[in-house]
């Protein structure tokens, strides 16, 4: 893995020991003699959900690009997942995708999919990071602030420098501090208190409500994965994915006021209302392995550190601390992994936040453009969005029949290609020549169920 060595740099401190922080520690372990990860929670020995990562009880998808980057950062990582019992399949052949309510034709592709739970993924990453000789992962260690050196009087440096962190137990000096404190990161407050001003924020409110429950896997009753994506007029989603330990995770979600119910009858009725019949058929005989767990995700939040007129040197932020995406698109871990690759190349030197913003631009615009298809979602719609949206609706209608268009759609949503891939001249032609028309609606219509908030 490439890494820039910076003269004099020896110790990096990472705030937060979840996936983003662990990947950052891996990235810095080559250029820094010591890397210390400070995690507020008590970390479990095995794969287990924990308080500081409430979403770890919810269904997580690992995008194909994410699994590839994990293999780059930790050679053999995906084989290790398989050894740990994670089922794998082909993203297009083994998963049934409903696009705008229509089932997509299946075909073999070169894109892998892994049915891994969030706690097992974090556990495997943590084991790899703990095995690195230069990295120490310390739990029950809460960071409460930054150590900051003011610019030397008359010196050339215009801004100060972060030179460590304050913890509940004392102070730790560092040449580089990485904030991987997640969505609830305190970095904006710390920077404001140090006189750097407010961090500009973009917010797109979708009011996602998640409900996740596990069932026993039975190949006679359900395939590898079924994905009913929401679309205007259908603010509900329902997904099943086969996971390790012979389980199937069911995730029901609602946006913009829709709430998946938790009681059995309500869950079945919600599943009945989805475009595809597979999940409601599965639920007729499925054996639950626990209770449903609910979580709210009010808004996607992007912190624009790159727009700050001043920032201290020696500071980097990664993962959800920079951008917390609508979880329905499953982008968070993959973006954190791509940031880790960039961190390995630069060791946090130079204009980190400018480069990090470029990495976030494409997934952020893909996710928010999809959210902005819903007229109820507030946000800036550019003049180009209307024709683009009309094209993409036609694209999806064509892609459910045309497996090449379907594969390109999955490549983009799995971050293996940029959104421009869907606008390549050959694809535009196929879309325009396709007899499929957008706006046919779902494969079947069911009456709405109770569960909508007033």
Ligand X SMILES: Cc1cc2nc3c(=O)[nH]c(=O)nc-3n(C[C@H](O)[C@H](O)[C@H](O)COP(=O)(O)OP(=O)(O)OC[C@H]3O[C@@H](n4cnc5c(N)ncnc54)[C@H](O)[C@@H]3O)c2cc1C
Give 39 or 94: the residue with its C-beta nearer to ligand X: 39
Identify the residue among 13, 25, 27, 38 touching ligand X (CB under 6 A): 38
Q: State the minimum distance, in angstroms, from the CB of residue 131 to ligand X.
A: 19
CB 400 within 8 A of CB 105: yes
Identify the residue among 113, 279, 333, 341 touching ligand X (CB under 6 A): 333
At residue 317, the 3 state secondary structure works out as strand
Give 36 or 334: the residue with its C-beta nearer to ligand X: 334
Among the listed ranges 16-24, 218-226, 368-376, 438-446, the one in contact with ligand X (CB under 6 A) is: 16-24
Identify the residue among 25, 28, 31, 61 touching ligand X (CB under 6 A): 61
Binding of residue 40 to ligand X (CB under 6 A): yes
Written as one string, the DSSP assignment of 259-300 is: ----SHHHHHHHHHTSS-SHHHHHHHH--B-S--EEEEEEEE
Binding of residue 123 to ligand X (CB under 6 A): no
Q: How far apart are CA 454 and CA 441, in angstroms?
A: 25
Q: And the tokens for 366? A: 């893909």
Identify the residue among 15, 187, 199, 399 touching ligand X (CB under 6 A): 15
Give 260 or 442: the residue with its C-beta nearer to ligand X: 260
Beta-bridged to residue 300, according to DSSP, are 204
CB 42 within 8 A of CB 18: no
Going by C-beta distance under 8 Å and a sequence separation of 6 or more, which residues neighbour residue 407? 92, 107, 109, 111
Identify the residue among 9, 18, 146, 415 touching ligand X (CB under 6 A): 18
Q: State the minimum distance, in angstroms, from the CB of residue 154 to ligand X.
A: 35
Give 210 or 282: the residue with its C-beta nearer to ligand X: 210
Identify the residue among 180, 191, 415, 416 touching ligand X (CB under 6 A): 180
Alpha-carbon distance values, 277 to 217, 235, 240, 300, 327 (Å): 18, 17, 12, 30, 24
The sheet carrying 201-216 orders its strands as 102-103, 95-99, 225-228, 236-243, 247-254, 201-216, 293-303, 323-324
Among the listed ranges 102-110, 285-293, 328-336, 359-367, the one in contact with ligand X (CB under 6 A) is: 328-336
Binding of residue 55 to ligand X (CB under 6 A): yes
Indicate the DSSP class of residue 7: T
Q: How far apart are CA 56 and CA 324, in angstroms?
A: 15
Binding of residue 166 to ligand X (CB under 6 A): no
Binding of residue 327 to ligand X (CB under 6 A): yes
Give 31 or 209: the residue with its C-beta nearer to ligand X: 209
- Long-range (24+ apart) CB contacts under 8 A made by 165-171 are 165/13, 165/15, 165/38, 167/38, 167/141, 167/142, 167/143, 168/141, 168/142, 168/144, 169/141, 171/147
Identify the residue among 36, 117, 228, 334 touching ligand X (CB under 6 A): 334
Give 109 or 185: the residue with its C-beta nearer to ligand X: 185
Binding of residue 238 to ligand X (CB under 6 A): no
Q: State the minimum distance, in angstroms, from the CB of residue 114 to ligand X.
A: 11
Identify the residue among 14, 27, 53, 135 touching ligand X (CB under 6 A): 53
Q: How many residues bind ligand X (CB under 6 A)?
A: 37
Binding of residue 139 to ligand X (CB under 6 A): no
Identify the residue among 9, 13, 14, 17 touching ligand X (CB under 6 A): 17
Q: State the minimum distance, in angstroms, from the CB of residue 323 to ligand X.
A: 9
Alpha-carbon distance values, 56 to 113, 176, 426 (Å): 19, 28, 41
Binding of residue 39 to ligand X (CB under 6 A): yes
Among the listed ranges 174-182, 232-240, 273-281, 395-403, the one in contact with ligand X (CB under 6 A) is: 174-182
Q: How far apart are CA 322 and CA 143, in angstroms?
A: 17
Binding of residue 295 to ligand X (CB under 6 A): yes
Alpha-carbon distance values, 252 to 25, 177, 286, 301 (Å): 34, 38, 15, 22
At residue 303, the 3 state secondary structure works out as strand
Q: What φ, ψ does residue 199 adopt, rounded to 5°?
A: -80, 125
Binding of residue 260 to ligand X (CB under 6 A): no
Residues that bind ligand X (CB under 6 A): 15-21, 38-41, 52-53, 55, 58, 60-61, 142-143, 180-183, 186, 210, 295, 297, 319-321, 327, 330-334, 336
């Amino acid at each position: 893995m490439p890494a820039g060595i910076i003269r004099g740099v020896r110790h990096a401190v990472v705030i937060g020991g979840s996936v983003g922080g662990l990947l950052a520690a891996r990235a810095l372990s080559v250029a820094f003699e010591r890397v210390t990860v400070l995690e507020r929670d008590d970390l479990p020995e095995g794969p287990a959900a924990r308080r500081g990562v409430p979403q770890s009880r919810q269904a997580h998808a690992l995008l194909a690009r994410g699994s590839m980057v994990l293999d780059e950062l930790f050679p053999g990582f995906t084989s290790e997942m398989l050894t740990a019992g994670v089922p794998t399949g082909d993203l297009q052949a083994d998963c049934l995708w409903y696009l705008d309510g229509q089932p997509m034709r299946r075909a073999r592709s070169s894109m892998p999919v892994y049915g891994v739970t969030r706690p097992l993924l974090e556990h495997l990453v943590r084991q790899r990071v703990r095995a690195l000789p230069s990295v120490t992962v310390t739990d029950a260690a809460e960071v409460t602030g930054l150590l900051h050196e003011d610019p030397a009087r008359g010196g050339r440096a215009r801004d100060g420098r972060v030179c460590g962190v304050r913890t509940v137990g004392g102070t730790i000096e560092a040449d580089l501090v990485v904030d991987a404190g997640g969505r609830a990161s305190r970095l904006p407050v710390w920077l404001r208190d140090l006189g750097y001003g407010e961090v500009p924020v973009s917010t797109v409110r979708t009011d996602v409500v998640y409900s996740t429950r596990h069932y026993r896997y039975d190949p006679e009753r359900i395939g590898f994965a079924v994905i009913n994506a929401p679309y205007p007029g259908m603010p509900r989603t329902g997904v099943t994915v086969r996971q390790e330990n012979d389980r199937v995770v069911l995730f029901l979600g609602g946006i913009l006021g829709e709430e998946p119910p938790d009681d059995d009858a309500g869950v079945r009725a919600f599943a009945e209302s989805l475009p595809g019949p597979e999940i409601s058929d599965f639920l007729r005989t499925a054996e639950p392995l626990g209770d449903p767990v609910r979580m709210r995700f009010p808004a996607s939040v992007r912190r624009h550190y790159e727009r700050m007129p001043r920032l201290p040197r020696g500071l980097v932020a990664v993962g959800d601390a920079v951008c917390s995406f609508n979880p329905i698109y499953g982008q968070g871990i993959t973006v954190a992994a791509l940031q880790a690759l960039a961190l390995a190349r630069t060791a946090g030197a130079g204009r980190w936040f400018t480069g990090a913003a470029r990495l976030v631009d494409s997934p952020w615009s893909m996710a928010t453009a999809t959210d902005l298809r819903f007229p109820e979602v507030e946000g800036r719609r550019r003049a180009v969005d209307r024709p683009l949206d009309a094209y993409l609706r036609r694209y999806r209608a064509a892609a459910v029949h045309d497996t090449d268009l379907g594969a390109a759609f999955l490549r983009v949503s799995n971050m293996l290609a940029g959104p421009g891939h869907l606008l390549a001249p050959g694809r535009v032609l196929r879309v325009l020549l396709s007899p499929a028309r957008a706006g046919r609606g779902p494969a079947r219509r069911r009456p709405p169920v109770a569960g909508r908030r007033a």
